[in-house]
Structure 1
Amino acid sequence: MNANPRLLSIHDFTYQLPPERIAPEPLPQRDQSRLLVYREGELTDRRFYELPTEVPTGSLLVFNDTKVVRARLFAHKPTGGIIELFCLEPVAPHRAIEPAMQQTGSCVWKCLVGNGKRWKSGPVLLEFMAQGQPATLTAERQEVADGYSLIRFSWEPAELPFAEVLRGAGHLPLPPYLNRPDTDVDAVRYQTVYAAQEGAVAAPTAGLHFSETVLQELQARGIETAHVTLHVGAGTFQPVKADRMAEHPMHAEPISVTPAFLRQLLMHSKGPVLAVGTTSLRTLESLYWLGVQLLQDPSSADAPLHVSQWQPYEPGSEIPAAEALQALLHYLKKTGADVLHATTQLLIAPGYRFRLAQGLITNFHQPESTLLLLVAALVGPQWRQLYEHALSNDYRFLSYGDSSLLLP
């Protein structure tokens, strides 16, 4: 490693982002956004619908197919006051997203609570329509810790899965910096066209630019595509408050991939592997470190698979990527699992050496964010030139903003 990310100061990864450059709404058409192509140090201005002509021949594009759930709930106290509940992650009876979304009757989630000081005791209620019939959701606060609350939800009709409860009662959790309520437009546009697996509380925004037309054009040009799942957590908006990255706790997020995807990665040799979004990139790189872990410490197979924040920066692993992927396939065969489930806290920052991803499609990120660190790890100090070009050429920034194709 040519740098120690623990010693990095986040203040070295900042730039002036004028508020008017933050895109408040999506463009009328997904693929009309602008695309800044960075290829071996050269910058070119394009439109996103031109992406298929810019992607290297023989590439494999890896998409995150997570789907944003309507995780914001506005419940009423008996006295009429409104309490906002932002569902972050399930706690009981399931901690994994997929079974938690299918849970019926009642469940416990970790939530952020708005207007919480006005909620002294007792349940709050929310009435809504689900599957064409009236329904009621009751929320009770069980405990408060570290700024979060554990909320027990129960609902009638009890046979409804929690996914249906959120669909009927909830609102899309738009990024906090948009500072506006969600609309019918957001219901469509704050999801990717290929979203499939419910569980994210923020969109994998690099994918928002892809239209069916762009996907068909990629296919026509022989570009391979594949899907992984990382359920984006609210931690993606967590600011870095520490002076040194060593003191910043990276948030953990669940990932899942199929054996078919691992085999596709192993067999792909025609061109670069390009991640669509930082979440796809973190998933790809986390797979390498999970495989390394299984090879170096076979007993780790007995515990839930997890990549820690600093694992890649420990004294080295020179295990080839193919061996790491084979280890994951062997683990799945041995355990009889049809999907690889794990969690990742991986922090990608300058000093990181990429093992599986060779390029990235991504939006323009907030100053002093872990997402900007990831971009700097991929393209090096030229990230400044990239962002200065975008700022001086009227690119739109953040979730609903424009896109970039980074081919270092």
Structure 2
Amino acid sequence: MQRTDFYFYLPPHLIAQQPNRSRTSSRLLWANSILEPFQDLRFTDLPHLLMPGDLLVFNDTRVIPARLLGRKQSGGKIEILVERILDNNQILAQIRASQPPKPGMWLYLEGGIAIQVLQRIEHFFQLQFDDPRSVDEILHTIGQIPLPPYIRRTPTEVDSIRYQTVYARQPGAVAAPTAGLHFDEGILEQLQTKGIAMAFITLHVGAGTFAPIRVDNIHQHTMHTEYMQVSPQVCEQIQTTRARGGRVIAVGTTCVRALETASAGGNIKPYAGETRLFITPGYRFQSVDALLTNFHLPESTLLMLVCAFAGQDLVLAAYRHAVEQEYRFFSYGDAMLVSHNPNE
């Protein structure tokens, strides 16, 4: 399949630059079938679309303040985006600079913190802090919330709260699992009261989630790796839900990747480690029946996953509808609910 098969026109003004006034005030597009009219709803309608006995699966990763600003020895400005904390004083990171730094060079961050380039590993740099404090302490002292590149403004205190799910508890992501940003404590309580169960996996979203596909044939694309964990308890919840006829509903594409990675053998099993699963049309899903997701970038790996899940024709038609109806797109945008189409 070609990358251009997943193109759609998106007017720039539909890219949400700010969060809504409240988490649940976003819109919800219910794209149940290409044979039925799409339903333009509010996110607060979600409990009415779910049934007692359904299971919602959330990603409980927590975004770390992974954006660091500084200068090279020459004085040139740099921006460091932490991809992963390796130990107490080393990180793997992307570096934006006029010229990429070389191994052995020193970089200087706010507050006089020095950091040395150890080596380059593909698109990333291994860096070591010359500071008695831990990486985690340094990030929480001078780091900023790493807003996505299409949000063209400086992060604020509001972002430190709103670019984080209310159930985030496992630090390690550099991007939010954005389908979960719509939930607040009130709607979670409504869902529980209705008899809808909840489960939590962890997938630490990396900066690679924003990396564009640069090849025409999507099957030649090399997927980025991300750390994930699916517990024995979650596996048991999924098996029990399906045995009694309930649906497993993934909140976001990160949950789909985690659950399907853990289901690689056909049955879901506990898993802790890396995933680079790239889901494209033709993939056979094992553990997910419905998906709540935000609207994704044209020609992105996330859009390809949604097309594989619900059907390419339905998803692209839903996106055209969303553009016509001026839904808000991307991280701070609106949401869509789709069911799995096993014929895709």
Aligned partner of residue 153 in structure 1, secondary structure: strand
1:73 corresponds to: 68
The question of whether the paired residues in 1 share the 8 Å contact of 2:3 and 2:217 is answered with yes
1:362 corresponds to: 293
From 256, 262, 273, the equivalent of 1:281 is: 256
Paired positions, count? 334
Q: Percent identity?
A: 42
From 186, 195, 201, the equivalent of 2:174 is: 201
From 27, 33, 37, the equivalent of 2:20 is: 27
Aligned partner of residue 99 in structure 2, secondary structure: helix
Aligned partner of residue 150 in structure 2, secondary structure: helix
2:190 corresponds to: 217
Mapping for residues 315-326 of structure 1, pairs under 5 Å: 321=266, 324-325=267-268
1:404 corresponds to: 336
Using the TM superposition, give the Cα deviation of residue 145 of structure 1 relative to its aligned residue in structure 2, in angstroms.
Answer: 4.7
1:335 corresponds to: none
Rounded to whole Å, the distance in 1 between the matches of 2:44 and 2:219 is 40
From 103, 117, 121, the equivalent of 1:141 is: 117
1:126 corresponds to: 109
C-alpha distance after superposition, 1:229-280 (max 9, x if no partner): 0000111111111111221101111111222112212222341100000000
The question of whether the paired residues in 1 share the 8 Å contact of 2:76 and 2:98 is answered with no
From 296, 299, 306, the equivalent of 1:375 is: 306
- Structure 2, unpaired ranges of 5+: none
Using the TM superposition, give the Cα deviation of residue 407 of structure 1 relative to its aligned residue in structure 2, in angstroms.
Answer: 2.2
Aligned partner of residue 390 in structure 1, secondary structure: helix
From 38, 49, 52, the equivalent of 1:57 is: 52
| Structure showing greater Rg | 1
From 143, 146, 152, the equivalent of 2:128 is: 152
- TM-score, normalised to structure 1's length? 0.78
Aligned partner of residue 207 in structure 1, secondary structure: helix
The question of whether the paired residues in 2 share the 8 Å contact of 1:83 and 1:119 is answered with no
Runs of 4+ residues deviating >6 angstroms: none
- TM-score, normalised to structure 2's length? 0.91
C-alpha distance after superposition, 1:349-375 (max 9, x if no partner): 111111100000001111111111111
1:272 corresponds to: 247
1:16 corresponds to: 9
C-alpha distance after superposition, 1:150-201 (max 9, x if no partner): 211132xx2x432222111111111111122211111111101111101111
The question of whether the paired residues in 1 share the 8 Å contact of 2:3 and 2:216 is answered with yes
C-alpha distance after superposition, 1:36-83 (max 9, x if no partner): 012244321111112111123321000000011111111245665532
Using the TM superposition, give the Cα deviation of residue 118 of structure 1 relative to its aligned residue in structure 2, in angstroms.
Answer: 8.1
The question of whether the paired residues in 2 share the 8 Å contact of 1:65 and 1:228 is answered with yes
* Coordinate RMSD, CA, aligned: 1.9
The question of whether the paired residues in 1 share the 8 Å contact of 2:115 and 2:129 is answered with yes
1:391 corresponds to 2:338: no
Rounded to whole Å, the distance in 2 between the matches of 1:147 and 1:346 is 19
The question of whether the paired residues in 1 share the 8 Å contact of 2:24 and 2:184 is answered with yes
1:236 corresponds to: 209
The question of whether the paired residues in 1 share the 8 Å contact of 2:61 and 2:173 is answered with yes
Change (3 A) 1:226 1:147: closer
C-alpha distance after superposition, 1:361-408 (max 9, x if no partner): 001111111111111111212112211111111101111110011124
Deviates more, 1:164-173 or 1:111-120: 111-120
Aligned partner of residue 117 in structure 1, secondary structure: coil
Using the TM superposition, give the Cα deviation of residue 124 of structure 1 relative to its aligned residue in structure 2, in angstroms.
Answer: 2.9
From 326, 334, 351, the equivalent of 2:282 is: 351
1:300 corresponds to: none
Rounded to whole Å, the distance in 1 between the matches of 2:212 and 2:290 is 25
- Structure 1, unpaired ranges of 5+: 1-7, 95-99, 129-135, 293-320, 330-339
Rounded to whole Å, the distance in 2 between the matches of 1:152 and 1:283 is 30
1:190 corresponds to 2:163: yes
1:253 corresponds to: 226
The question of whether the paired residues in 1 share the 8 Å contact of 2:33 and 2:314 is answered with no
- Counterpart AA for 1:245: I
Rounded to whole Å, the distance in 2 between the matches of 1:264 and 1:145 is 39
- Counterpart AA for 1:167: H
The question of whether the paired residues in 2 share the 8 Å contact of 1:231 and 1:254 is answered with yes
- Counterpart AA for 2:109: L
